[in-house]
Amino acid sequence: MNQIIDKILAELDKSGNLRKFPTESQDARYVDLSSNDYLGIASDTGLQTEFLNSTDFGCMQFTSSASRLLSRSQQPYTQFEETLADAYGCEKQALLFNSGYHANTGLISAFASTKAYIIADKLVHASIIDGIKLSGLPFARFRHNDYSQLDRLAAKVYGEGYNIIIIAESVYSMDGDCADIDTLAEIKRRYPGALLYIDEAHAVGVEGPAGLGICKASANFENVDIVVGTLGKALASSGAFAITSETMRKFMINKSRSLIFSTAIAPINVLWSRFTFQHTLGMDTERHHLKQLGAALSTELKSVGKSMHSGHIQPLIVGEPHLAVELSKKLRTEGFEVLPIRTPTVPPGTDRLRFSLSAALNLDDISRLGEALRKIF
């Protein structure tokens, strides 16, 4: 077995795809363009102090020591879930998970006992793919944002007697482009009994009214059966949540194995998550600034022929793993931390740098990045 593993590692190294943890500690000399700290909360020490000074920790536990179903301390979880449900409205309920990966694998695999057929966008996150595989259900993937193909696939499998689960992301993690929620909801309505599942990991805190995501901004929000949000990106915490119906929430509590068989998030962490979530609801100024940064970055990428859109996630595709690594090193010498994204995280031939913006940055940072890119290209 060791020989097989050594061979696999050698092949990864040869292809430029051998991953290693970054060895450099965070350094103020570098502008961080790889973080998912979209609103700048993670670096806001003032906000952290406010949380510590305003929170009555009492007998707060630093660990749950058990699965949520066995934990004696439920108040922090239920309070936060009620806060989430109130914010999203429409008689929806919330359910917390340990991470976005736990949420997607647990929620999707829970449908294993249903006669369903999953149809997912080609570029959905690896956690969604793993959830689909764990479910054991038949599935198909439609070309990215190609809703005509989605509709054809749905018509075919619906005609074969299946219930349909349509899965997409609202903001795609590697390209930063967006799904059309209204079109997805319209396709769902054509097939009675179909479910629409949207992962909003990279939209929560950033997009939509009060940062509640793209689905919430849509007139079809009530037609989205499951919305997944993460707490570890714009909300600067850890964990994830699902927004769904009361019936679906009960189903997931009983069928989602990643929820049932995992030690729950530490209660003190849930308090911080609730605090940051409530804070982000009023961060419209930061969201506007983030859009300004996105527009500025798009302009700079256009100057080297690489712009795709103006969102808070923008790729610079170079096509080969070693080219992505080389470009990352060059930008570091210019004062920018932008880590390479390689296969299999992205499809072969689309290896890239991914620029993830933060409201903690300023327009001068983006201008200097543009100068560095023009120097390199």
Query: Taking the CA of residue 313 as centre, how many other CA atoms within 13 Å lie in the half-sphere pointing to its CB?
Result: 24
- Gap between the Cα atoms of 181 and 187, Å rounded: 10
**Please, what are the averages of pLDDT over each run of 10 residues along the chain (377 residues)?**
90 83 70 95 94 81 83 85 96 96 98 95 97 98 98 97 97 95 98 97 97 97 97 97 97 96 92 96 98 97 90 95 94 94 91 96 97 94
Give yes or no for a contact between 17 and 345, defined as CB atoms under 8 angstroms apart: no
For residue 28, the model assigns a pLDDT of 67
For residue 61, the model assigns a pLDDT of 75
- Gap between the Cα atoms of 93 and 86, Å rounded: 8
Nearest partner of 197 among 212, 185, 213, judged by Cα: 185
Beta strands in 44-138 (DSSP E): 93-97, 116-121
State the virtual CA torsion across 157, 217, 98, 194 in degrees, nearest 10: -20
- All structural domains of the chain, each given as residue ranges with its CATH number in brackets, are 16-39+284-376 (3.90.1150.10), 61-280 (3.40.640.10)
Beta strands in the chain (DSSP E): 31-32, 93-97, 116-121, 139-142, 163-169, 195-199, 226-230, 240-244, 313-317, 336-337, 340-341, 352-356
Give the pair of three-digit tokens for residue 314: 């923008």
Question: Which backbone phi and psi does 177 adopt, to 5 degrees?
Answer: -85, 170
Residue type, 358: S
For residue 112, the model assigns a pLDDT of 96
